[in-house]
């Protein structure tokens, strides 16, 4: 019988619909266990429950991550076959990436699950996601952080925690870079998606965990990042660092790895790059598939201006790895090496051989 620790954090999977208002409910989380035990999806597993926090995931701030991380790191992993963390879908991709990095030394699987609707709604996939997580831990366990979420095709998709991208607003669907998930749970077992970007499951099972960068006596995850998405007409003069200065900026890019680099005006990222340099604020650009391929002239100009491109990594993973890096006592060069050269849990998608992951 599998021994599984279930950690409730809130989210839609732990919510109830009260006259059209969806909010977290203390009883909502434990209703998931009751529903599972009464369902045909139930298997022989011993489920122990704790609730380190109870919030809607859109309200998560770094102090909440610190609470969750502390609760997980306090677990005696030798007592359990795995951990399931229930989480809201809004910020699940960010939490999954951050946990993948902070908990890269896990010796058991940790699976995050969410629900597209409150469990009382017949459209909800929360119970199915939870059941698939129990199956994964019981049958196909591998150490590390994963997400399991049933898509609109009825497939229970398994994602590596460092490779899941944000849920799409209109379809409630998650994705991953290149649309390459790790696999699916089919008939209660993992069916791995055989793709060059994916590690073999035996590799995951026998993986020697990296040493966690987490400092038990440190200050934990701290705020400090500014994230910017480009759009036509973006005016960088609205960003004034004279009062409050971020530790670093992560600037998203258009799909071709570009942003406005037309000249030295308030709409140009080139001018903003100069401003960041003057203010002593590090500027990172992401995503970029691979700088060894041909690049647009605008991308080359941005690189020459001192902006640092983060390659072969999702924006979600890059933002969380930077957030972690700038929460650690590292210098600028150490931070760049940590983010761009030190693999923690398969966050680099296309150049696994180059980085040895």
Active site residues: 12
The answer to whether residues 121 and 18 touch, using CB atoms and an 8 Å cutoff, is: no
Closest CA to 344 of 208, 221, 219: 208
For residue 5, the cross-strand partners are 48, 83
Distances (CA, A) of 154 to 126, 132, 149: 12, 12, 10
The span from the CA of 167 to the CA of 89, in Å, is 7
Strand extents, DSSP E, 151-212 = 156-160, 183-186, 189-192
**CA pseudo-torsion sign 344, 345, 347, 353:** positive
DSSP 46-105: EEEEE-S--B-GGG--HHHHHHHHHHHHTS-GGG-SEEEEE--SSSHHHHHHHHHHHTTT
Other beta carbons within 10 angstroms of residue 85's beta carbon come to 26
For residue 159, the cross-strand partners are 147
DSSP structural state of residue 217 = T
**CA pseudo-torsion sign 70, 73, 76, 82:** positive
Q: Give the chain's radius of gyration (CA, Å).
A: 21
For residue 50, the cross-strand partners are 7
């Amino acid at each position: 019988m599998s021994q599984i620790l279930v950690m409730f954090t809130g989210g839609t999977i732990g919510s109830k619909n009260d006259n059209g208002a969806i909010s977290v409910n203390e009883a909502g989380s434990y209703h998931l266990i009751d529903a599972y035990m009464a369902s045909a999806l139930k298997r022989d597993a011993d489920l122990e429950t704790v609730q380190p926090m109870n919030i809607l995931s859109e309200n998560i701030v770094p102090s909440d991550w610190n609470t969750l991380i502390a609760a997980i790191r306090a677990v005696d992993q030798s007592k359990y076959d795995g951990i399931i963390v229930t989480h809201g879908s809004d910020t699940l991709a960010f939490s999954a990436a951050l946990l993948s990095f902070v908990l890269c030394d896990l010796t058991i699987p940790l699976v995050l699950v969410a629900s597209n609707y409150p469990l009382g709604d017949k459209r909800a996939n929360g119970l199915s996601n939870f059941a698939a997580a129990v199956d994964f831990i019981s049958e196909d366990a591998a150490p590390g952080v994963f997400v399991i979420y049933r898509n609109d095709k009825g497939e229970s998709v398994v994602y590596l925690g460092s490779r899941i991208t944000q849920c799409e607003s209109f379809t409630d669907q998650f994705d991953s870079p290149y649309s390459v998930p790790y696999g699916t749970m089919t008939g209660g077992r993992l069916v791995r998606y055989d793709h060059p970007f994916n590690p073999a499951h035996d590799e995951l099972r026998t993986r020697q965990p990296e040493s966690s960068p987490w400092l038990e006596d440190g200050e934990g995850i701290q705020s400090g990042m500014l994230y910017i998405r480009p759009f036509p007409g973006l005016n960088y003069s609205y960003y004034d660092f004279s009062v409050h200065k971020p530790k670093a900026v992560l600037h998203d890019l258009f799909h071709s790895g570009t942003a406005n680099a037309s000249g030295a005006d308030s709409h140009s990222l080139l001018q903003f790059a100069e401003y960041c340099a003057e203010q002593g604020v590090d500027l990172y650009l992401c995503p970029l598939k691979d700088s060894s391929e041909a690049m647009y002239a605008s991308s080359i100009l941005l690189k020459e201006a001192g902006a640092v491109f983060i390659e072969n990594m999702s924006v979600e993973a890059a933002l969380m790895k930077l957030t972690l890096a700038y929460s650690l006592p590292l210098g600028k060069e150490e931070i760049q090496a940590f983010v761009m050269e030190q693999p923690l849990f398969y966050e680099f998608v296309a150049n696994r051989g180059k980085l040895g992951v």
